[in-house]
Amino acid sequence: MDTWDPEAPGILRLPSGRLLRGRGLRHSEPEGARPDFGLYLLGSPPPAFAWEARWLRWPDFRLPSDRAEAEDAFRDAWERCAGGRVEVACGGGRGRTGTALACLAVLDGIPPEEAVGHVRRHYHRRAVETPWQHRYVRRFPARAG
């Protein structure tokens, strides 16, 4: 499998070199390569895609409905982006997408308290929109007790 063009719009490079594409589904699909896998963060199921996809129930401006499922979905996306094109998307491409990208950055080794800043510098300056989304990233991954 191929990875993304690192200069393409919406591409986030993680410290390990893995590349992810974030985007908003309300916008047109970007030109160029299509994903091998997509993780879609929406309150209701997304439309069908021509590639493998996973839906994570996540209402707008909120947090994932099932935190254990979210952690599993993030780990799945992180593993897949080691050698394939993975897209993470919500409606607008900033709040939920930015939060998920920050969690993926934590999985890649960025300290949780630095992950939002990394995503804002390298993906979108307004990523992670709410205080509870910030808190979710700071507490990711889920800790026992």
Q: How many CB atoms lie within 10 A of CB 15?
A: 10
Kindly state the tokens that stand for 44. Answer: 């209701």
Centre a 10 Å sphere on the Cβ of residue 57 and count the other Cβ atoms it contains: 16
9-67: per-residue pLDDT in tens?
A: 999 999 999 999 999 999 999 999 999 999 999 999 999 999 999 999 999 999 999 99
d(CA 20, CA 60) in angstroms, rounded, equals: 21
pLDDT the model gives residue 145 = 33
* pLDDT for 1: 57
Backbone CA torsion sign across 66, 69, 75, 79: negative
pLDDT at res. 92: 97
**Is the preceding omega at residue 141 within 30 degrees of 0, hence cis?**
yes
Note the pTM of the prediction, 2 decimals.
0.95
**Distant-in-sequence, close-in-space partners of 65: CB < 8 Å, separation ≥ 6:** 57, 58, 59
Q: Span 1-8, mean pLDDT?
A: 87
pLDDT at 143 exceeding the cut of 70 = no
pLDDT tens digits, residue range 90-103?
A: 999 999 999 999 99
CA distances (Å), origin 26, targets 86, 92, 93 = 18, 6, 8
Residue 142: predicted pLDDT: 60
pLDDT digits (tens, 9 = 90+) for 104-123: 999 999 999 999 999 999 99
Confidence band (pLDDT; 50, 70, 90) for 144? very low
Structural domains present in the chain:
11-138 (3.90.190.10)
Q: What is the C-alpha end-to-end distance of the chain, expressed in Å?
A: 39
